[in-house]
């Protein structure tokens, strides 16, 4: 392109780069809050599993079941529906991003099924089969903690250079503290 106006002659021509959405810590907040809630629930369930064969009473069972149902009914979305994350797949290699997102969705679906099974067990009489309840609880909180770690690793992998330093530091710190760190 030949510059025609005086201002064009003074400015070197720059190629336009595609604008990518950068991800700040604040945009990770809804997911981190949700993960923290799941981790607290996991800690409660682990305490129940550790106390078995002494089972909690009916009121405690109802409280825990209500917490589980609340978490299952109102999950934070990861990753596609969130504007800061929806554009990530374009830059990370669609096959890697698609694979990671599919893995997270499958793990989230499994968590919902496990959670519903625990609610059903708590609605019945868990004291009849404390070993079964303990097994269900341990499978749930271990897989839930694993899912949180996978979600955070997915954000790091797919977010790549779009993660601002604070967002990267937040995810890295939570990962290094263990179990997604609540």
pLDDT of residue 179: 60
Q: Distance between CA atoms of 32 and 43, rounded to whole angstroms?
A: 16
Tens of pLDDT, residues 95-108: 787 888 888 889 98
Residue 3 to residues 15, 31, 74, Cα–Cα distance (Å): 15, 49, 56
Tens of pLDDT, residues 140-155: 999 999 999 999 999 9
CB 68 within 8 A of CB 115: yes
pTM of the complete model beyond 0.85: no
Q: Distance between CA atoms of 70 and 68, rounded to whole angstroms?
A: 5
Is 9 a residue whose pLDDT tops 70?
no
């Amino acid at each position: 392109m030949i510059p025609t106006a005086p201002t064009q002659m003074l400015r070197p021509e720059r190629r336009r780069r595609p604008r990518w959405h950068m991800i700040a810590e604040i945009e990770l907040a809804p997911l981190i809050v949700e993960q923290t809630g799941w981790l607290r629930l996991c800690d409660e369930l682990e305490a129940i599993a550790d106390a078995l064969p002494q089972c909690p009473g009916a009121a405690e069972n109802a409280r825990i079941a209500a917490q589980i149902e609340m978490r299952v009914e109102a999950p934070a979305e990861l990753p596609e529906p969130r504007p800061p994350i929806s554009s990530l797949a374009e830059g990370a290699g669609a096959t890697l991003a698609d694979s990671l997102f599919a893995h997270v969705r499958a793990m989230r679906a499994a968590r919902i099924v496990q959670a519903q099974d625990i609610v059903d067990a708590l609605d019945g009489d868990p004291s009849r089969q404390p070993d079964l309840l303990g097994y269900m609880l341990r499978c749930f909180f271990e897989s839930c903690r694993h899912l949180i770690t996978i979600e955070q690793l997915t954000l790091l992998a797919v977010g790549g250079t779009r993660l601002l330093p604070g967002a990267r530091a937040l995810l890295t710190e939570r990962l290094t503290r263990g179990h997604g760190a609540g």
